A = this chain, B = another copy of it.
Amino acid sequence: MESQDLRNAGLKVTAPRLKMLELLEKAHDRHLTAEAIYRQLLDAGEEIGLATVYRSLTQFEAAGLVTRNNFEGGQAVYELERGPHHDHIVCIHCGRVEEFFDEVIEKRQRSIAEKLGFNLRDHTLTLYGECSKPACKASRDRSVGSNSGNPRHAAKK
């Protein structure tokens, strides 16, 4: 139950927080912006403020309940922390996000950090590309050779 998660994190159990966790749990899209969470709760008839959404997300993150990701540009997205660590690949056309985990990469990162004298604490790895949806695939071919713009900055969704 979510109320226990909140108590464990030293947070009071309140309606807004429960609603947020519930939404993050059920949402079809696992990666949501603060704005999206706010809108969806409003639309569902909940009374909640945007400030509360941001505040709570920050607290959830500190408590390890939620992970924040800053994909290029615009807003941060939040996802419920379940299962083990993973990285992301984002479609530069439709914004679709897929997750992956690769032990070889993880291991490599550790040895690189060590070699450079760093005590590794965290990392972010995000791949950007065109996904297999017809529309996205199409623009892949269309733009061959156009070389305009940095793909990392496209699709600010």
A residues neighboring B (CB under 8 Å): 61-62, 70, 72, 89, 91-92, 98, 100, 102, 104-105, 108-109, 112-113, 116-132, 137, 140, 148-152
Contacts and interface: CB of A to CB of B under 8 A. Distances in A.
B105 A118 contact: no
Given A100-B112, A102-B112, A128 B132 contact: no
A118 B100 contact: no
Contact of A122 (B104, B119, B152): B152
When all copies of this chain in the complex are counted, the total is 2
Given A118-B91, A119-B129, A127-B118, A62 B149 contact: yes
Secondary structure of the A contact surface, majority rule: mixed
Contacts of A62: 148-150
A37 B72 CA distance: 22
Given A72-B70, A102-B108, A150-B122, A116 B128 contact: no
Most buried by B among A104, A109, A129, A148: A129
A62 B151 CA distance: 10
Nearest to A70: B70
Contacts of A61: 150
B132 A127 contact: no
Given A100-B112, A150-B61, A126 B123 contact: yes
Nearest to A137: B119
